[in-house]
Structure 1
């Protein structure tokens, strides 16, 4: 008759033992905050970190968006524009709490096309600098501008991916070894995209506020997205009964991974136009369009043994290319380095998981026809994919 009370007592004991270390840890932290560490050292210099997130140009002057990512609150005491002290107003206040944001309104007669330098000086005489490389009024998020950016994203993403998919009827004529070579070519394309996505993410992460660990977010996003997609694959293995469905799913995943990469390309184009570098933006449009046409080949490769419908191809083109439209919107209107770094990491992880799946397909098909997985033809195809992406990427970088 005493079994149930004993079990209840044991459950309460287990809960207490589970939370006891947390209670003790909270007590230690409270003691450190309340009474200090016992080491009395005078701080050599104030620790202040002010991140200039965005500089908007209006008819009245500059609007500077700032973030206090330092350990303590800070006060912006003076503003210097192009070497001269300048008046400014603050919203909500020049005193910014930790992780707080503020907008600095500077009435300044900027000159279109000129370089302008803005210095924010804190109460402790620390200086934080922001630059406007080529002054141009910041685009307003109206219907006309949204449509213009949408058209740019369509040119860069949907059209080249769709053109690449048009090679599907030609590739259907290939033998089993030829289809393997196309899959290996896809691995080369995706491998380059994965490396490129990681590199771009790390560059953006380095520009993000240090407290958010932008470069770490790239790796966290990559690893977690890879494992998440792997878990989804393994959970669906028992449910999937047809190989054809698996191959179609692989094409969708390739399109999704490439779509995340194209989102980053849209970010670069939108940011270029928003900062007044229209010539650079136009150059990026041409370069990315030529660069992305090969992506359609990679998306179509897993479907060579199936009979996809026109609707499937249309969906794949939109999934792989349309994110460039979203990226152009974000880059042109509300660019954020921290979130961009995370998106790049997620995209790289998705691409890496697709590479893993395609490699398994190549090994499965090679075993079925009694051929080596890493034949000279497959090796040459992987190399060709990497080289082709590298050469077309030069059109963007130079």
Structure 2
């Protein structure tokens, strides 16, 4: 009977040692909150901070401003100005906005279709937070017709160019081993460009997040965590499954990148910038055709079934459809940042695996890893993505 008591005593002692520092930390934090660290007399005026997450125009004559309080204390918005004139409004929920709280201000204002408008929010302490409507137009509402049209846009941008790029598969099967190694090095260049572009897109969305999300470091941390998880899982795969599995992983990384492209297109149309949205559709369609080549490159010496080609195209291009829906109907910068950060990690992991494949093929050919063939393929891959991106950068 003494052994269980001894074991129980050890567990109690172990947890006691773990909990005591936490209890002491709680006491210190309570003291700091109560006394302000002994520096309450030096405190300045309260700090107010609001983040306008989105401005929507749900119907004619109505403006809705969606707010997040990312400051250290409660904020009250008693007055609103639209185009330099004070205007009545209602808030939901009413009253002060607590820290990390959200509110939606509904302003009955006769906005003019196609014109720009400026909204200014005045807090109880006189701080002014502004939001701009670049082109006033009704915010798209979920409906069957628009849902189908946005879905078709995503199909044109994501799935169609990937399928067209995959049609190079029969031609690639006739290439020599050296030529195929060039294509694989080209694939590495494509993926490196996509990794850099996806990271920058994620940082752009992260910059629009409230400060408490810590968007900039979060992107890097999520990408590194994704990379680590995928590398850990990769160690358990069977070697004979590598070619087709690698193609699926390339398609997944590209799909997460294409999700960001769909978000950009949908958001452009939601903001009334139809010309920009059309410009992005044309540019991304051209930009994405090279992705299909990179997806099928690892399986050139294999004989995949038609259903596998269809799944690869859907995995790589389908997220563009989802992104267009989200960007047009319910854009969420938090989810956009997370998805793109995961995409960065996934693409970097695929770069690692394709790079290893290039290294093995190069060794089998008796050539140096960094030679004119591999360096040329990498450069061509980056150049293809860089110059086709001229059609989508502005």
Report the TM-score, using the length of structure 2 for normalisation. Answer: 0.97
Q: Residue 386 of structure 2 corresponds to which residue in structure 1?
A: 390
Deviation at 1:304, TM superposition (A): 1.0
Conserved in 2, the CA contact under 8 Å of 1:94 and 1:102?
Answer: no
Residues of 1 paired with 2:157 and 2:274: CA distance? 16
Conserved in 2, the CA contact under 8 Å of 1:221 and 1:343?
Answer: no
Deviation at 1:205, TM superposition (A): 1.0
Write out per-residue CA displacement over residues 295-343 of structure 1, whole angstroms, 9 at most, x where no aligned residue.
0001011111111011111000000000000000111111122321222
Classify the secondary structure of the residue corresponding to 2:43. coil
Classify the secondary structure of the residue corresponding to 2:100. coil
Matched, 1:290 2:286: yes
Conserved in 1, the CA contact under 8 Å of 2:63 and 2:109?
Answer: yes
Classify the secondary structure of the residue corresponding to 1:41. helix
Residues of 2 paired with 1:369 and 1:391: CA distance? 31
| Larger mean Cα displacement after TM superposition, 358-367 or 319-328 | 358-367
| Larger mean Cα displacement after TM superposition, 285-294 or 216-225 | 216-225
Q: Residue 5 of structure 1 corresponds to which residue in structure 2?
A: 5
Residues of 1 paired with 2:75 and 2:106: CA distance? 18
Conserved in 2, the CA contact under 8 Å of 1:214 and 1:342?
Answer: no
Conserved in 1, the CA contact under 8 Å of 2:164 and 2:292?
Answer: yes
Measured on the aligned residues, the alpha-carbon RMSD in Å equals 1.2
Residues of 2 paired with 1:41 and 1:289: CA distance? 61
Residue correspondence of structure 1 range 263-342 to structure 2 within 5 A: 263-342=259-338
Classify the secondary structure of the residue corresponding to 1:293. helix
Residues 1:145 and 1:365: Cα distance change in structure 2 (over 3 Å): same
Residues of 1 paired with 2:286 and 2:212: CA distance? 38
Classify the secondary structure of the residue corresponding to 2:66. strand
Q: Residue 355 of structure 2 corresponds to which residue in structure 1?
A: 359
Classify the secondary structure of the residue corresponding to 2:38. coil
Classify the secondary structure of the residue corresponding to 1:117. strand
Residues of 2 paired with 1:77 and 1:259: CA distance? 45
Matched, 1:52 2:52: yes
Conserved in 2, the CA contact under 8 Å of 1:215 and 1:341?
Answer: no
Conserved in 2, the CA contact under 8 Å of 1:55 and 1:64?
Answer: yes
Conserved in 1, the CA contact under 8 Å of 2:61 and 2:111?
Answer: no
Q: Residue 85 of structure 1 corresponds to which residue in structure 2?
A: 86
Q: Residue 104 of structure 1 corresponds to which residue in structure 2?
A: 105
Deviation at 1:42, TM superposition (A): 4.0
Classify the secondary structure of the residue corresponding to 1:74. coil
Report how many residues are paired. 393
Conserved in 2, the CA contact under 8 Å of 1:157 and 1:322?
Answer: yes
Q: Residue 187 of structure 1 corresponds to which residue in structure 2?
A: 188
Report the TM-score, using the length of structure 1 for normalisation. Answer: 0.96
Q: Residue 38 of structure 2 corresponds to which residue in structure 1?
A: 38
Q: Residue 251 of structure 1 corresponds to which residue in structure 2?
A: 247
Q: Could you list the runs of 5+ residues in structure 1 that have no partner in the other structure?
A: none
Residues of 2 paired with 1:34 and 1:198: CA distance? 42
Residues of 1 paired with 2:67 and 2:56: CA distance? 12
Write out per-residue CA displacement over residues 10-53 of structure 1, whole angstroms, 9 at most, x where no aligned residue.
22211211222112111211222234311233433321111111
Deviation at 1:180, TM superposition (A): 1.0
Deviation at 1:54, TM superposition (A): 1.0
Residues of 2 paired with 1:118 and 1:168: CA distance? 53
| Larger mean Cα displacement after TM superposition, 170-179 or 264-273 | 170-179
Q: Residue 15 of structure 2 corresponds to which residue in structure 1?
A: 15
Q: Could you list the runs of 5+ residues in structure 2 that have no partner in the other structure?
A: none
Classify the secondary structure of the residue corresponding to 1:388. helix
Residues of 2 paired with 1:246 and 1:124: CA distance? 62
